[in-house]
Amino acid sequence: MAHLQRASNVAALPHDLLTAAARTTIDEARKRIEQGALLERSEILEQAEITANAVAGRLLQPMINATGILLHTNLGRAPLGTSTIDAIIHASGSTNLEYIIETGQRGSRHDHAGHLLALACGAEAGMIVNNNAAAVVLVLATLARGKEVVVSRGELVEIGGGFRVPEILAETSAQLIEVGTTNRTRLRDYEKVINDNTAMTLKVHASNYRMVGFTEATSVAELATLSVPVVVDAGSGLLDRDTPWLAQPPSWLADEPGIRQTLDDGASIVTFSGDKLLGGPQSGIIVGTRVLIERCKQHPLARALRCDKTTIAGLQAVAIAYLDRDASQIPLWQRATAEMSELRARGNAIINTTLSLDRVAVVDHEAAAGGGSLPGHTIPSLALAVVVSDVTSALRHLRTRHHIVAIARDGRVLCDLRSVGPGEDALIGAALADLIATFAP
Ligand SMILES: *Cc1c(COP(=O)(O)O)cnc(C)c1O
């Protein structure tokens, strides 16, 4: 099936892309002929097809995430559920995005998902922007321009993709006041520097690394005793530590602060991603006190960072799932909390229907939340392991022919089943059968 999809992609490529592929092929053939090569017409045609295939292969397309990293940033982070996708489709025409149906007057796009997500985590108010980086920028630009922002030296981090806390502060013309040391910062350190020009204390969740050993950090509750607002960049967006949408909180979530608890501890504003542990479309969520959120909404940058109707519709469905305490609508939580027995049954079913037992095994593996959440914590998982002659080529074959991203371990190819949707099992089976036939050791 993956083969057919690729082939049809090539056939359906716009004329200009095909022409460009043909030109590239002819130019390369010319060069080789000038260097004395003898080329058959059929060879050039074959090369043209390879080039066109490569062009089709670079288009945005569905992939299967068999890495075990549930929130894989390069693979588009959280998978969306049916109710989220339906909501997005339903919002694709005209909507009441900024329209009050009752009065016919102009409304606010923040009254939808922003309001519902605030409700779901116990905040007074909320708003949505394009991603969490944008959320942090907007909060700093609104509350801290020309003022001082106090940050622990232990939290002056690079979050990824060049998003560095000190640089963001500089961009928003806020003055960074560093306090404490890399490993230890106390309340007294913050207290000493607060003055009339201090806008806030900023806490950044160390989401993609973990400090262990001789460390000490100041809690949100402690910072809230100071005279300035506490702003928290929570990053991954676990709405509530108690996970009321699950039967019980999974142990690997242990160190992850909840948005609800951070607000309860006294944070004035908390920002987080929509497509990490929240399990929704790419977005940034800002929740907090009504007064401060209102100021963020009024800032000119809010216009530049706003989301479109489809994102807001998708997030509304996600917010409703949380308000219903129904994780069945959020694939991230389904995958993260699937029982090992369920993964084992899926693994065995794939083997029994498609594969020869002597080359494939179900093996223990460690999955992870990913997306910069919960560093150092793994989730027990299972993988299908296949013995192949050449792991690098086999992985490439899986990517290009079957659109599956798998992993290498001990000379075998592994497909972690926790990050694979149950609806994708048949494709994994077919791909591994092909792998076994193509890469016999
Ligand atoms: C992931 C993360 C960000 C960036 O969020 P995006 O939604 O990717 O823009 C910022 N801060 C923290 C702490 C994060 O974990």
The Cα–Cα gap between 137 and 163 comes to 11
**Rounded mean pLDDT of 138-146?**
96
pLDDT in tens, 9-22: 777 899 999 999 99
**Rounded mean pLDDT of 161-177?**
86
Predicted TM-score (pTM) of the model is: 0.93
Q: What spacing in Å lies between the alpha carbon of 213 and ligand 1's midpoint?
A: 25
DSSP state of 101: T
**Rounded mean pLDDT of 163-187?**
89
Lowest mean pLDDT among 27-31, 136-140, 155-159, 388-392: 155-159
Q: What spacing in Å lies between the alpha carbon of 375 and ligand 1's midpoint?
A: 14
The Cα–Cα gap between 15 and 275 comes to 35
The Cα–Cα gap between 3 and 266 comes to 55
- Answer whether residue 386 shows pLDDT above 80: yes
The number of the ligand 1 atom at minimal distance from the alpha carbon of 372 is 15
Lowest mean pLDDT among 74-78, 257-261, 437-441: 437-441
What is the per-residue burial (b if ≥16 Cβ within 10 Å, else e) of 339-360? eeeebeebbeebbeebbeeebb
The helix/strand/coil state of 71 is strand
- Answer whether residue 2 shows pLDDT above 60: no
The number of the ligand 1 atom at minimal distance from the alpha carbon of 284 is 7
Q: Which residue did the predictor score with more confidence, 210 or 364?
A: 364
**Rounded mean pLDDT of 381-394?**
96
The Cα–Cα gap between 436 and 291 comes to 61
> What per-residue confidence (pLDDT) applies to 372?
67
- Answer whether residue 8 shows pLDDT above 60: no
**Rounded mean pLDDT of 379-398?**
96
The number of the ligand 1 atom at minimal distance from the alpha carbon of 234 is 13
Question: Are 364 and 380 within 8 A, CB to CB?
Answer: yes
CA terminus-to-terminus distance, the chain: 25
The Cα–Cα gap between 406 and 388 comes to 13
Q: Which residues contact 278 (CB under 8 A, 6 or more apart)?
A: 78, 237, 239, 272, 285, 318
> What per-residue confidence (pLDDT) applies to 207?
65
Q: What spacing in Å lies between the alpha carbon of 166 and ligand 1's midpoint?
A: 14
In 10 A of CB 316, how many CB atoms? Answer: 23
Question: Are 54 and 47 within 8 A, CB to CB?
Answer: no
Residue nearest to atom 5 of ligand 1 (CA): 132
Judge if the beta carbon of residue 130 lies within 6 A of ligand 1.
no
For a mutational test of ligand 1's pocket, the pick from 129, 207, 256, i.e. the residue with the most ligand atoms closer than 8 A to its C-beta, is 207
Judge if the beta carbon of residue 236 lies within 6 A of ligand 1.
yes
Q: Looking at 236-313, which runs of residues are DSSP E strands?
A: 269-273, 284-288
**Rounded mean pLDDT of 186-213?**
88
> What per-residue confidence (pLDDT) applies to 15?
93
Question: Are 344 and 311 within 8 A, CB to CB?
Answer: no
- Answer whether residue 373 shows pLDDT above 90: no
Judge if the beta carbon of residue 204 lies within 6 A of ligand 1.
yes
Q: 3-state SS of 164-185?
A: EHHHHHHHCCCEEEEECCCCEC
pLDDT band at 146 (very low <50, low <70, confident <90, very high): very high
> What per-residue confidence (pLDDT) applies to 208?
61
> What per-residue confidence (pLDDT) applies to 122?
98
**Rounded mean pLDDT of 208-226?**
84
Residue nearest to atom 14 of ligand 1 (CA): 235
Q: What spacing in Å lies between the alpha carbon of 276 and ligand 1's midpoint?
A: 9
pLDDT band at 168 (very low <50, low <70, confident <90, very high): confident
pLDDT band at 376 (very low <50, low <70, confident <90, very high): confident
> What per-residue confidence (pLDDT) applies to 203?
95
Lowest mean pLDDT among 130-134, 195-199, 266-270, 352-356: 352-356
Helix or strand run (H / E) with residue 237:
none
- Answer whether residue 428 shows pLDDT above 60: yes
- Phi, psi for residue 8 in degrees, rounded to 5: -70, -30
Helix or strand run (H / E) with residue 378:
none
In 10 A of CB 36, how many CB atoms? Answer: 6
- Answer whether residue 6 shows pLDDT above 60: no
> What per-residue confidence (pLDDT) applies to 357?
66
CA distances from 430 to 193, 351, 434 (A): 62, 10, 6
Lowest mean pLDDT among 149-163, 296-310, 327-341: 149-163
The Cα–Cα gap between 13 and 56 comes to 7
Q: What would the two tokens of residue 9 be?
A: 């992609």
pLDDT band at 160 (very low <50, low <70, confident <90, very high): low
Q: Which residues contact 178 (CB under 8 A, 6 or more apart)?
A: 151, 152, 153, 156
pLDDT band at 128 (very low <50, low <70, confident <90, very high): very high
Q: What spacing in Å lies between the alpha carbon of 136 and ligand 1's midpoint?
A: 9
**Rounded mean pLDDT of 365-378?**
83
The number of the ligand 1 atom at minimal distance from the alpha carbon of 206 is 13
pLDDT in tens, 244-273: 999 988 999 888 899 999 999 999 999 999
pLDDT band at 431 (very low <50, low <70, confident <90, very high): very high
> What per-residue confidence (pLDDT) applies to 228?
98
> What per-residue confidence (pLDDT) applies to 7?
44
Q: What spacing in Å lies between the alpha carbon of 371 and ligand 1's midpoint?
A: 8
Q: Which residue did the predictor score with more confidence, 171 or 382?
A: 382
The number of the ligand 1 atom at minimal distance from the alpha carbon of 205 is 13
- Answer whether residue 48 shows pLDDT above 50: yes
Q: Which of 405, 270, 253 is nearest to 327 (CA)?
A: 253
Residue nearest to atom 2 of ligand 1 (CA): 235
The Cα–Cα gap between 128 and 115 comes to 9
Q: Which of 340, 236, 338, 337 is nearest to 279 (CA)?
A: 236
Judge if the beta carbon of residue 133 lies within 6 A of ligand 1.
yes
- Pick from 11-15, 180-184, 288-292 the range whose average pLDDT is largest: 288-292
DSSP string, 325-373: T-GGG-HHHHHHH--HHHHHHHHHHHHHHH--TTTEEEEEEEEEEETTB
> What per-residue confidence (pLDDT) applies to 370?
87
Question: Are 280 and 274 within 8 A, CB to CB?
Answer: yes
Q: What spacing in Å lies between the alpha carbon of 377 and ligand 1's midpoint?
A: 18
Judge if the beta carbon of residue 132 lies within 6 A of ligand 1.
yes
Q: Give percent of the chain above pLDDT 70.
A: 95
For a mutational test of ligand 1's pocket, the pick from 129, 136, 159, i.e. the residue with the most ligand atoms closer than 8 A to its C-beta, is 159
